Amino acid sequence: MGISLSPLQADRFMDFLEVLKKWNRRLNLTGLRDDREIILKHFLDSLTPLPLIPEKASLMDIGSGAGFPGLPIQIVRPDQAVTLVEASAKKTTFLKEVCRRLGLRQTVVLCWSIGQTDPPRPLPLFDVAITRAVGRPLELLTAVYPHLKRGGKMIFLKGSKGFKETETAKARMEKIGFSPPQSVKITLPVLEQERMLYILTKD
């Protein structure tokens, strides 16, 4: 993938794996149990949008869940401003514990249902918002619009089946205030599985 990890970053990924497996017994954070599968299907998969995210861009991960894709991005880019948004209080507690364990002091974790309630604290406008197969795209676009800078990007990580609402809802996306989505097909290393990234820009 063209990414080089320092020894500290590699250790952080292994610590993340350890904490994830420990908490998974209680919270069912992922259906994957095998270390190799977690590394390939969660860690590596979360890093696929990196070429689309400028290094200095502020990033909001919506529906972060077990920390994907926000935490792997934060590990690889420790100076990036990353905010993890998760509606579940239990999962938010997990995310805070991971950040504490990994020493990611700059990562912000918010227990918040975006679009349903006001944020728990004043938020800056973000350069990029990203989500990994969370919610209905049109609803999410409406919710995230006020929190993106003009020209900011919303990135959807999807499986090979893609973005079902793309063709049928372009007009509604434009009405919300986003340009038509651009799609990028990628292949997940080792597994050779296809992924689709859909990028929309706020007008």
Per-residue pLDDT of the chain (203 residues; tens, 9 = 90+): 889 999 999 999 999 999 999 999 999 999 999 999 999 999 999 999 999 999 999 999 999 999 999 999 999 999 999 999 999 999 999 999 999 999 999 999 999 999 999 999 999 999 999 999 667 888 999 999 999 999 999 999 987 666 665 556 778 888 999 998 898 998 888 888 888 899 999 99
Residue 202 DSSP symbol: B
What is the longest distance spanned by two Cα atoms in the chain? Answer: 48
Superfamily of domain 7-201: Vaccinia Virus protein VP39 (3.40.50.150)
Closest alpha carbon to 55 in 85, 83, 79:
79
Closest alpha carbon to 49 in 183, 170, 191:
183
Burial 106-129 (b: 16+ CB within 10 A, else e): ebbbbbbebbeeeeeeebeebbbb
Q: Helices marked H in 31-159 — which ranges?
A: 35-38, 45-47, 70-76, 89-102, 137-144
Q: Are 107 and 99 in contact (CB under 8 A)?
A: yes
